[in-house]
């Protein structure tokens, strides 16, 4: 393997693992294999997104040593950006939900990031209420009313940045195709920005148009809004079923998705706990959502005896303080 010179060089080439214990537990008649993205250096698929966006900004000339990178994130993209920014000598500022896990905030600060909780941003609470909790609308408000008013910054904008799906088209998709020797029938992944599934899906459908893409979103009881302000959400995934065209992220290509499947938070938590016991892998809530989805979908006649690739985006280590694995 040799000696690497930068953390960017060890992003990607994550393993694919057959979930034998999980399949046996649920008596599933499909071949379920997991793309374990927590093997990236900062334990999530968002390392790829961060790398793609920083590389693109450097190549375009927008990012220079005097520029501060800025992003709004639920955590993992911020961790990836903070790490790569530190390794390449850039400053990084992140705007983050107050309810994000303590581990995420601590890790970003360890990399030298400036962490700004939403509660400290004037006007953001009201903007979030007016947007009825919508992630995309509130992010656009933050960019227009806060970030665009600052000097010497570059908003990476993972929701709109085409470098987001592109890096998955260039790396994650080809890796899955190569690791499965082209034997893949269905891919299931959660949807946050839409970059992972859009990039992976575009590449795989170019190889075989018959491959189906399943997008996992939160169920209606797991969406925080004015009607359900105390909802326990699934970190990092967002509802897309009712998404209007003007609020569809630029990084997402919904036309590629063959089906959208909703999962509630308690179902995602249960599945994440289960796979830790059945297969010895520790994953987060969003990975749990994918795993619950496959237990339901794999029982359908059109999914049986198929190879299903589940993309598990992050590690359970950043959820320890949330009670994900508590009794």
- Between CA 60 and CA 67 the distance in angstroms is 13
Nearest C-alpha neighbor of 191 from the set 167, 212, 217: 217
Please give the positions annotated as active site. Answer: 46, 286
- Between CA 312 and CA 272 the distance in angstroms is 10
φ and ψ at 285, to 5 degrees? -60, -40
- Between CA 155 and CA 30 the distance in angstroms is 42
**Dihedral (C-alpha) 249, 253, 259, 265: value to the nearest 10 degrees?**
-30
Q: Which two tokens stand for residue 237?
A: 């995934």
Q: Are 264 and 218 in contact (CB under 8 A)?
A: yes
Taking CA atoms, 289 is separated from 19, 37, 169, in Å, by: 15, 15, 23
Q: Are 72 and 144 in contact (CB under 8 A)?
A: no
DSSP string, 204-263: HHHH-TT-EEEEEEE-GGG--BTTBTT----TT----TT--GGGS-TT--GGG-SEEEEE
DSSP string, 38-87: GGSTTSBTHHHHHHHHHHHHHHHT---TTPEEEEEESSHHHHHHHHHHHH
Nearest C-alpha neighbor of 76 from the set 322, 253, 308, 314: 314
């Amino acid at each position: 393997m040799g000696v690497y010179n930068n953390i960017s060089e060890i992003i990607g080439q994550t393993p694919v693992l057959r979930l034998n214990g999980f399949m046996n537990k649920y008596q599933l008649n499909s071949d379920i294999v997991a793309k374990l993205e927590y093997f990236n250096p900062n334990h999530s698929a968002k390392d790829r997104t961060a790398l793609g966006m920083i590389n693109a900004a450097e190549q375009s000339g927008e990012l220079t040593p005097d520029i501060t990178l800025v992003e709004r994130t639920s955590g993992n993209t911020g961790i990836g950006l903070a790490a790569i920014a530190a390794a390449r000598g850039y400053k990084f500022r992140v705007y983050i939900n107050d309810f994000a896990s303590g581990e995420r905030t601590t890790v970003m600060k360890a990399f030298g990031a400036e962490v700004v909780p939403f509660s400290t941003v004037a006007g953001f609470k009201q903007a979030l209420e007016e947007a009825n909790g919508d992630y995309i609308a509130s992010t656009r408000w933050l960019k227009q009313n806060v970030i665009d008013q600052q000097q010497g910054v570059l908003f990476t904008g993972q929701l709109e940045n085409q470098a987001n799906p592109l890096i998955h088209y260039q790396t994650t998709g080809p890796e899955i195709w190569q690791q499965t020797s082209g034997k893949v029938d269905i891919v299931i992944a959660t949807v946050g920005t839409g970059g992972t599934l859009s990039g992976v899906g575009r590449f795989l459908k170019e190889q075989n148009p018959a491959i189906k893409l399943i997008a996992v979103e939160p169920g209606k009881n797991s969406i925080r809004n004015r009607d359900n302000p105390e909802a326990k959400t699934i970190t990092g995934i967002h509802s897309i079923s009712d998404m209007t065209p003007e609020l569809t992220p630029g990084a997402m290509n919904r036309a590629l998705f063959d089906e959208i499947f909703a999962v509630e938070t308690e179902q995602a938590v249960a599945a994440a706990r289960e796979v830790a016991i059945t297969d010895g892998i520790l994953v987060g809530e969003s990975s749990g959502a994918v795993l619950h989805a496959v237990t339901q979908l794999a029982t359908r006649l059109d999914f049986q005896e198929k190879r299903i690739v589940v993309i598990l985006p992050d590690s359970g280590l950043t959820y320890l303080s949330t009670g994900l694995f508590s009794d």
